[in-house]
Amino acid sequence: MARTDAIVLGAGIVGVSAALHLARRGLSVALVDRRAPGEETSYGNAGIIEGNTYFPYPFPLKPAALLKIIFKQAPEANYHLSHLPKLAPWLFSYLMHSRGPAMLDFAHRMRPLFANAVAEHEKLMQEAGAESYLRTNGWLKVYRSVRGLEDARRDLDVIAAAGIAFEPLDTDAALALEPDLAPVFERAVFWPGAASLSNPLAVTRAYAERFKKLGGVLLEGDARSLHRAGDKWRVDTDEGAVDAAAAVIALGPWAPDVLDPLGIRLPLLVKRGYHRHFKPAGNKGLSRPVLDAEVGYLVAPMEQGLRLTTGAEFADRDAPATPVQFDRLMPQARELFPLGAPVEPEPWLGRRPCFPDSMPVIGRAPGQPGLWLDYGHAHWGLTLGPVAGRLLAEMMTGETPFTDPKPYAAERFLP
């Protein structure tokens, strides 16, 4: 490359979106990954662009639910005992951020990002010619019991007061939307404002192609080679060293591999999650993602089949896969959904990069001039990738940011 203004490290949905937003603003950008775009966490998510998100991902507070998790009976969560010493302080902080007034803080800080998430994707999809992957028919949460919905009522009232649209449904009304569900649930909530994708990998690839069309360069390299070279940042790639005045860390769960050696230690942990595709039974199917809310897993229609995604597994990022949640949930999943034979021999394992306050870090890296951060998008990286990329690009190019970026600064974790 003749001149590089910025290096973006990590070509998941977050890095690709940031690189694309920088290239749209006329910067010469090198996007560096050790794999092809979108092949890690951004490959296997449930495909929901959930701009309606209002509260952080819930921490189970009911004793019965907690005991089920502790005794490894819960479909929605699993943990590795060996991970507990590392997990405990993070979990305590997560608990504190997921209750009471902290939930409302999250809502106020994150609303500008979530509220713009679908529109930002739509803009990029149009440019990238990827609209065929987009469904704008919302998603559905089903509750096995009336009580299950009643338990969610207080949160729903706050969400309604914030002007976010949803429709509580009885079984028949939900079946009118998704006729191939079995009527083993009593209530549902339909979220019409959410969008979803039939192939998240294809969309990340399409954004990467658009980035290349705008002059961006995609290179293979190891982000851990990032170091200072004079007043620039340098990374080694298969095409040699690349230098730029600015570098962006968009490595999702792998960001600490580069940041820890630079002395930037932020409390990122991964919540692992699995998926497996199933052939639809007979000629049945789904037209939108559906969450089995009280059991704690989701099924989304994808090009590869019906993708069943699990909740959180607390384990070391690189520990071997332990997809035991499937054993716990498959009887109920087969009861509710038209699932045929599995498509792959083994489930896929992904890693959600999560801070304890459930918010990403977007902005300057503390104490490292020219270094920028865009990672930790937790359960909503697909949703937030484009809108976070826009905000970062606005900050990097000196434009007026569309929203105050202060809530997302890394400094919130520093003394």
Ligand X SMILES: Cc1cc2nc3c(=O)[nH]c(=O)nc-3n(C[C@H](O)[C@H](O)[C@H](O)COP(=O)(O)OP(=O)(O)OC[C@H]3O[C@@H](n4cnc5c(N)ncnc54)[C@H](O)[C@@H]3O)c2cc1C
**Angle formed at CA 154 by CA 148 and CA 157, multiple of 5 degrees:** 115
Shortest reach from residue 26's CB to ligand X, in Å: 23
HSE, CB side, 13 Å, CA atoms: give it for residue 287. Answer: 12
Residue 202, CB half-sphere, CA atoms under 13 Å: how many?
14
Stretch that binds ligand X, among 159-167, 210-218, 329-337, 374-382 (CB under 6 A): 374-382
H helices of 162-280, where?
Answer: 171-177, 200-213, 255-259
Report how far residue 338's alpha carbon sits from residue 347's, in angstroms, rounded to the nearest whole number: 18
Residue 314, SS3 per DSSP = strand
Identify the residue among 6, 7, 8, 11 touching ligand X (CB under 6 A).
11
Q: What is the DSSP letter of 399?
A: P
Of the candidates 112, 323, 347, 350, which one interacts with ligand X according to CB under 6 A?
350
Q: Of 51, 75, 273, 386, which one interacts with ligand X (CB under 6 A)?
A: 273
Subset of residues 288 to 327 that bind ligand X, contact rule: CB under 6 A:
309
252 closest CA partner among 21, 15, 50, 16:
15
**Pick 33 or 76: Cβ nearer ligand X:** 33
With CB under 6 A as the contact rule, the residue among 223, 269, 291, 295 that binds ligand X is 223
Candidate ranges 77-85, 152-160, 220-228, 323-331; the one touching ligand X (CB under 6 A): 220-228
- Burial string for 230-250 (b: 16+ CB within 10 Å, else e) reads eeebbbbbeeeebbbebbbbb
Residue 75 interacts with ligand X (CB under 6 A): yes or no? no
Query: Which of residues 7, 14, 333, 392 is near ligand X by CB under 6 A?
Result: 14
- Cβ distance to ligand X smaller for residue 83 or 186: 83
Whichever of 358 and 383 has its CB closer to ligand X, that residue is 383
Give the residue ranges of DSSP H helices in 26-70. 63-70
Rule CB under 6 A: which of 35-64 touch ligand X? 35, 39-42, 44-48, 50
**DSSP 3-state of 398:** coil
Neighbours of 83 (CB within 10 A): 17
* Residue in 266, 380, 395, 408 binding ligand X, rule: CB under 6 A: 380
254 is a contact residue toward ligand X (CB under 6 A): yes
Size of the site for ligand X (CB under 6 A): 42
Backbone torsions φ then ψ of 180, nearest 5 degrees: -90, 5
Task: Give residues in contact with ligand X (CB under 6 A).
Answer: 10-15, 33-35, 39-42, 44-48, 50, 222-224, 250-254, 257, 273, 275, 309, 350, 352-353, 375, 377-383
